[in-house]
């Protein structure tokens, strides 16, 4: 009888080694996932219980809810802000909650493109491509774009020069529509839409930053969280924080932290947003959104 070849024995030994390691890792993972007293499970369960406590106000598109948002912002000590800045912040916060509650592209635009005159938007096509990969195919989007005759009047938004701006913006809008829980676009269900907000834990901090990066990640990470998630910026603004720092020496920012109730598996989690003040446009421009919970990255666009 012919003996087994050397390559056969080598593959057998290497394969057996890989298989043993994989079996060891897999059995550990399965054990951990089933263990009731797993420290991670206990910690996360504790967070989830605490986060879900308290009174959540249902997020609605109504004057009553807008009034509640205004009252909540008024209740925070924001003495360094002018009345106009406070009003703009209320508007921005209201639009943020609307944008992630019903995933209506119009509210998303109001929040993400909240500009005065003279500012422009830079779309990050690379990021757009990344998002596209996980949403229905570009063909479907293009078809929808061609059908769509309702181009938004985005004013200054049209200034950026990457490709055909209207096409890109419409594409962006269609991506948002597709990612929403709108039954007409059933391909991607909104699994973690914000349904309520707990105003009793709402906090805001105004600060002047003289250097970049401006981020609230470190704040979020030191608080209870189950994996801080920061969606990448699909759009950035001109003037950017760096432009304002080089022009004025610093940029005024506001960090708002709040708790949201969701329709997803994680019933409530903390979230925070940073806006920076653009004096020329007299507008708070959205700079960062952070979630205290690692979700499916496709479901939150920023």
Partner 1 sequence: MKINHIQRFFLGFCATLLFLTACAKLVQIFMDPAAVRAPDPIVHQFQTGVFLLMVATIEFVIVALIVGNTPLSTKYLSITIISICFGVYRYAAFASGKINCSCMGLWSQKYPILSQLLLLSLVVMLTGGLAGLCWSIMKERRRPMNLQEAAR
- Whichever of 58 and 294 has its CB closer to partner 1, that residue is 294
Q: Which region holds residue 22: left if phi is over 0, alpha if psi is between -120 and 50, else beta?
A: alpha
Q: Closest approach of Cβ 133 to partner 1, in Å? A: 6
Name the residues that contact partner 1, by CB under 8 A.
1-2, 4-5, 7-8, 11-12, 15-16, 18-19, 22-23, 25-30, 32-34, 130, 133-135, 232, 294, 297
In the complex, minimum distance from the CB of residue 186 to partner 1, in angstroms, rounded to a whole number: 14
Six token digits for residue 239: 């003037």
Whichever of 23 and 208 has its CB closer to partner 1, that residue is: 23
Lookup: tokens for 296: 């499916």
Toward partner 1, which CB reaches closer, 15 or 163?
15
Where does the chain have alpha helices with state H? 6-34, 39-52, 63-74, 83-101, 105-112, 125-134, 138-147, 165-179, 217-222, 241-248
Which is nearer to partner 1, 28 or 248 (by Cβ)?
A: 28
Choice between 34 and 149, CB closer to partner 1: 34
* Residue 135, strand partner residues: none
Minimum CB separation of residue 2 from partner 1 in Å reads 5
Q: Closest approach of Cβ 43 to partner 1, in Å?
A: 16
Instruction: Output 20 or 280, the one with its CB closest to partner 1.
Output: 20
Least distance (Å) between residue 97 CB and partner 1: 25
CB of 233 to partner 1, least distance (A): 13
**Pairing verdict, β 283-291 and 268-278:** antiparallel
Sign of CA pseudo-dihedral 47, 53, 54, 60 = positive
Q: Which is nearer to partner 1, 6 or 222 (by Cβ)?
A: 6
248: left (phi over 0), alpha (psi -120 to 50) or beta: alpha
Closest separation in Å from C-beta 101 to partner 1: 25
Q: Which among 177, 184, 161, 193 has a CA at the least distance from the CA of 108? A: 177
**Helix, strand, coil abundance in the chain, percent, nearest 5:** 45, 20, 35
**In whole angstroms, how close is the CB of 142 to partner 1 at the nearest point?**
17
d(CA 172, CA 130): 12
Which residues are CB-neighbours of 86 under 8 A, at least 6 positions away? Answer: 73, 74, 78
Strand order through the sheet with 268-278: 57-58, 194-209, 251-262, 268-278, 283-291
Q: Which is nearer to partner 1, 98 or 299 (CB)?
A: 299
- Token readout for 225 is 């969280």
**Cα–Cα distance between 222 and 235 in angstroms, integer?**
28
């Amino acid at each position: 009888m012919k003996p087994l070849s050397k390559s056969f024995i080598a593959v057998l030994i290497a394969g057996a080694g890989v298989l043993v390691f994989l079996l060891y890792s897999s059995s550990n993972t399965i054990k951990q996932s089933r263990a009731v007293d797993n420290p991670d499970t206990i910690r996360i369960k504790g967070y989830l219980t605490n986060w879900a406590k308290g009174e959540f106000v249902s997020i609605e598109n109504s004057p009553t809810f807008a009034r509640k948002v205004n009252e909540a912002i008024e209740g925070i000590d924001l003495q360094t802000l002018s009345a106009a800045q406070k009003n703009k912040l209320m508007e921005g916060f209201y639009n943020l909650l609307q944008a992630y509650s019903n995933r209506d592209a119009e509210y998303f635009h109001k929040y993400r493109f909240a500009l005065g005159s003279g500012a422009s938007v830079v779309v990050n096509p690379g990021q757009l491509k990344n998002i596209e990969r996980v949403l229905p195919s570009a063909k479907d989007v293009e078809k929808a774009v061609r059908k769509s005759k309702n181009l938004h009047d985005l004013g200054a938004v049209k200034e950026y020069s990457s490709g055909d701006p209207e096409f890109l913006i419409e594409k962006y809008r269609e991506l948002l529509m597709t990612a929403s829980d709108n039954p007409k676009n059933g391909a991607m269900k909104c699994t973690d839409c914000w349904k309520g907000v707990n105003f009793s834990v709402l906090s805001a901090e105004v600060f002047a930053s003289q250097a970049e990066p401006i981020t609230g990640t470190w704040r979020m990470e030191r608080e209870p969280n189950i994996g801080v998630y920061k969606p990448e910026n699909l759009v950035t603004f001109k003037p950017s924080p760096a432009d304002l720092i080089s022009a004025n020496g610093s940029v005024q920012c506001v960090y708002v932290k709040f708790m949201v109730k969701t329709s997803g598996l994680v019933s409530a989690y903390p979230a925070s947003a940073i806006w920076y003040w653009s004096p020329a446009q007299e507008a708070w421009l959205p700079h960062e959104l952070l979630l205290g919970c690692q979700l499916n990255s496709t479901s939150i666009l920023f």
